Amino acid sequence: MSIKVSGLTKVYDTQKAVDNISFELRKGEIVGFLGPNGAGKSTTMKIVTTYLPATSGDAVVCGYDVQHHPMEVRRRVGYLPESNPLYYEMYVREYLEFTAGIHQLGKGSKKRIEEMIAMTGLGKESHKKIGALSKGYKQRVGLAQAMLHDPEVLILDEPTSGLDPNQIVEIRNLIKNLGGEKTVLLSTHIMQEVQAMCSRVIIINNGKLVADNSIEKLKQANTNQGVLLVTFEKEINPKLIKELRNLQSSEHSGGNTWKLMTRDPDALRKEVMQWALNNDISISSLQAKTESLEDVFRTLTGK
C-alpha cells in the first residue's frame, strides 16, 4: 500500500478535527478526498505528510510510519498545501533550485527543473519573481515543487485553486497522466474535477469517514430515492401534488417545474400521468433525474 491510515485521530483542546478514520491507497490510484469546510481534510493531509502529529492512530506511507520515520516519508511524498507557501522574492528557477537542494537531487537537478517547468507550463514565466506571478502561475510553481523530486505519492490540497478554465484542464490532464505511476490523494470542492480524474472517493464529515468507494458505487449505494423532474404548462396548486401516493417528498425547482422524490420512479411516473389526466393538468415534460456526485456529497454531509 502507498498510504495506509488506521484509526487516525487529531484532537485540538476539546475538538476532534479527525475522529478515528481509516483508509488505504494503492499505487497508481487517484483518490478524491472530499468533505465540507472544517471536515478534517487538511488536518489529515498534514498528518500524512508529517507536518502535524496525530493524537492517536497510525499513518504509513510507502511502508514508513510518519511518526517514527518522517524523513523517509518526506522523501517519498510531494505535497501541495492549500495555502501554497512560496518565497515571493525568489525567481521561479531560483526557487526550484533551492527546492532541489533540499531534496539533494545533485547533478540531475537542472534537467529535472527544466522538465518540471515544461510540464507545468511555466516556461514563459520562469524568469520572473514568484511574487510577480498571477495566482494561477503561483499554483503551478507549487505543483512543480511538489513533483520536483519525483515522489511516489502526491498529496494535493485544492491544486486547481485560482486557475482559469484552460489552466484547470491542463493541470487536470497532468494529474491524470500521473496516475498509474504515482499515488495521488486529491482534495477539492470541484466535483467535476473529481469525476474527471479520480478512480475512487473518500468523504469525511465532522472528522468522521462517511464514504470510501468508487463514484458509481457511491451513487448506487446512496440512491435511496428516485427523482422525477416534472414541468407543467401552467402553475399548479402545491396541495394537489400531495395527493400522489408514491411521492416521498417534493421540491419546487422554479417556474412550473417540480422535483418529485420517490422510492419507485416507475410507479410514480404512471401515477403522475393518471393524476394529471384526472385533474385536467397539462405536462410539458417528465423525466427521471440521475443522482450526481454532488447529490451524494450533500446527502452524506447533511447539506
Question: Tens digits of per-residue pLDDT, 157-185?
Answer: 988 877 788 888 888 888 887 767 889 99
pLDDT at site 24: 96
Cell of 112: 529535472
Class of domain 222-300: alpha beta
pLDDT at site 226: 75
Beta strands at 208-213 and 183-187: parallel, antiparallel or unpaired: unpaired
SS3 assignment, position 202: strand
Cell of 109: 537537478
Q: b vs e for 234-243, b when ≥16 Cβ sit within 10 Å of the residue's Cβ?
A: eebeeeebee
CA 183 from chain centre, in angstroms, equals 14
Selection from 153, 6, 189 nearest residue 79 by Cα: 153
> Is 57 a residue whose pLDDT tops 90?
yes
Return the CATH superfamily for domain 3-214: P-loop containing nucleotide triphosphate hydrolases (3.40.50.300)
Beta strands at 153-157 and 77-80: parallel, antiparallel or unpaired: parallel
Helical spans, DSSP H, in 198-249? 215-221, 238-241
Amino acid at the residue 229? L
Cβ within 8 Å of residue 234, ≥6 positions away: 256, 281, 282
Helical spans, DSSP H, in 103-184? 109-119, 135-147, 165-178
Residue 223 — pLDDT band, cuts 50, 70, 90? low
> Is 300 a residue whose pLDDT tops 80?
yes
pLDDT in tens, 234-289: 998 888 888 999 988 888 988 899 988 887 888 898 999 999 999 999 999 998 77
Cell of 295: 447529490
Distance between CA atoms of residues 107 and 174, nearest Å = 25
The CATH 3.30.70.250 portion of the chain extends over: 222-300
The CATH 3.40.50.300 portion of the chain extends over: 3-214
The structure's pTM equals 0.78
For residues 244 and 268, is the Cβ–Cβ distance under 8 A? yes
Distance between CA atoms of residues 130 and 137, nearest Å = 8
